[in-house]
């Protein structure tokens, strides 16, 4: 038997498997697009941490749940602002449209603390949820369907978040197999950003990955996922509210409720948003209002590259570094 026909047959057998999975192809921040890297291929400079496999992360206790399959730190930390619009574009493993249409999309952020995000180990990150989208108003179609149709998913960053380096963890949970325990497929991704501005808001609570989810959580194990009109409970914590310092030691909380999902859209032309209340079942780490911190005095660099080491002290004052370190230790 000739080896070439055997190799060709093997290739065709693998292609459907590859096409059935996927990865974050690019991210756009306020209209500027940054391309990611194809999993397990040569990497170019990007703010998106590269994974080594398009297969989903399986199991809520999997250490790859933080940023994806064996995710590697990215080279760039790119600029963003409080209230920036961030659009995520997903692709299948063969470069086509995202292959799934059932399940939620959730977005978390985590401070990189006293280091820059290109050096930050995400295994110790403390995450707070900033956005989620589930079913559309018809009660049956998921916002994820728009991604399958080739659209991007857009959300906005918190408008009073303190300046600094952050990971944005955007995640699709594919639920087509979630009628069985452990069937959910997690597709997390992490993008490295440097938020400028003069905000002074700190999240009220954080969670860890793994740790925030359980395989038995509603919304991860969902026997009713294919029942039209069935309700859906988002996994993970509530949308974070932000504790702010008004400058005289008093703290305020501008968010009316941490339990209400924020509005989100799939591309600029779509109006779909998450429709179910989030679940606050995982344990979360509260952050004391006294740990809210003042904004750095210097603005972030305009380019996508990291500041040189001799400039980091200008960008990250001593008080800011100390508080961010305390935040990570909580």
**pLDDT tens track, the chain, 330 positions:** 455 544 444 334 444 556 789 999 999 999 999 999 999 999 999 999 999 999 999 999 999 999 999 999 999 999 999 999 999 999 999 999 999 999 999 999 999 999 999 999 999 999 999 999 999 999 999 999 999 999 999 999 999 999 999 999 999 999 999 999 999 999 999 999 999 999 999 999 999 999 999 999 999 999 999 998 899 999 999 999 998 765 544 444 443 333 333 334 444 334 344 444 334 445 455 544 333 333 333 333 333 333 333 433 333 434 444 444 454 555
Question: What are the pLDDT digits (tens) for 127-174?
Answer: 999 999 999 999 999 999 999 999 999 999 999 999 999 999 999 999
Please, what's the largest Cα pairwise distance for the chain?
81
* Contact between 232 and 276 (Cβ < 8 Å): yes
Question: Where along the chain do its domains lie?
Answer: 22-195
CA distance linking residue 238 with residue 281, whole number of Å: 9
pTM of the model: 0.74
| Cβ density class 3-29: b for 16+ within 10 Å, e for less | eeeeeeeeeeeeeeebbbbbbbbbbeb
pLDDT at residue 138 in the model: 93
CA distance linking residue 32 with residue 153, whole number of Å: 15
* Contact between 189 and 243 (Cβ < 8 Å): no
pLDDT at residue 20 in the model: 84
Choosing among 1.20.1260.10, 3.40.50.1370, 2.70.50.70, 3.40.640.10, the CATH entry for 22-195 is 2.70.50.70
């Amino acid at each position: 038997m000739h080896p070439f026909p055997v190799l060709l047959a093997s290739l065709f057998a693998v292609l459907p498997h590859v096409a059935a999975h996927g990865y974050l192809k690019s991210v756009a921040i306020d209209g500027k697009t940054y391309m990611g890297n194809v999993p397990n291929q040569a990497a170019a400079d990007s703010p998106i941490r590269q994974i080594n496999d398009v297969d989903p992360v399986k199991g809520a206790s999997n250490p790859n749940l933080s940023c994806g399959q064996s995710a590697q730190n990215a080279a760039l930390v790119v600029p963003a602002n409080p209230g920036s619009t961030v659009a995520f574009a997903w692709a299948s493993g063969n470069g086509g449209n995202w292959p799934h249409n059932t399940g939620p999309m959730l977005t978390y952020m985590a401070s990189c603390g006293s280091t820059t995000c290109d050096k930050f180990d995400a295994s110790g990150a403390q995450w707070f949820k900033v956005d989620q989208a589930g079913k559309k108003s018809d009660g049956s179609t998921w916002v994820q369907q728009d991604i399958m149709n080739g659209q991007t998913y857009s959300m906005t960053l918190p408008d009073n978040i303190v300046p600094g380096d952050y990971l944005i963890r955007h995640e699709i949970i594919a639920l087509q197999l979630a009628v069985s325990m452990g069937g959910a497929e997690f597709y997390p991704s992490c993008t490295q950003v440097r938020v400028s501005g003069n905000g002074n808001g700190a999240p009220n609570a954080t969670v860890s990955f793994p740790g925030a989810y359980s395989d038995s959580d509603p919304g991860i194990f969902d026997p009713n996922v294919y029942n039209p009109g069935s309700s859906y409970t988002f996994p993970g914590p509530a949308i974070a509210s932000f504790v702010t310092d008004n400058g005289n030691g008093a703290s305020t909380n501008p968010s009316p409720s941490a339990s209400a999902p924020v509005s989100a859209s799939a591309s600029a032309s779509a109006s779909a948003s998450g429709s179910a209340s989030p679940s606050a079942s995982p344990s979360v780490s509260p952050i004391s209002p006294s740990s809210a911190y003042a904004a750095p005095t210097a603005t972030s660099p305009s380019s996508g590259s990291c500041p040189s080491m001799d400039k980091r002290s200008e960008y990250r004052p001593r008080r800011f570094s100390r508080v961010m370190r305390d935040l990570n230790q909580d």
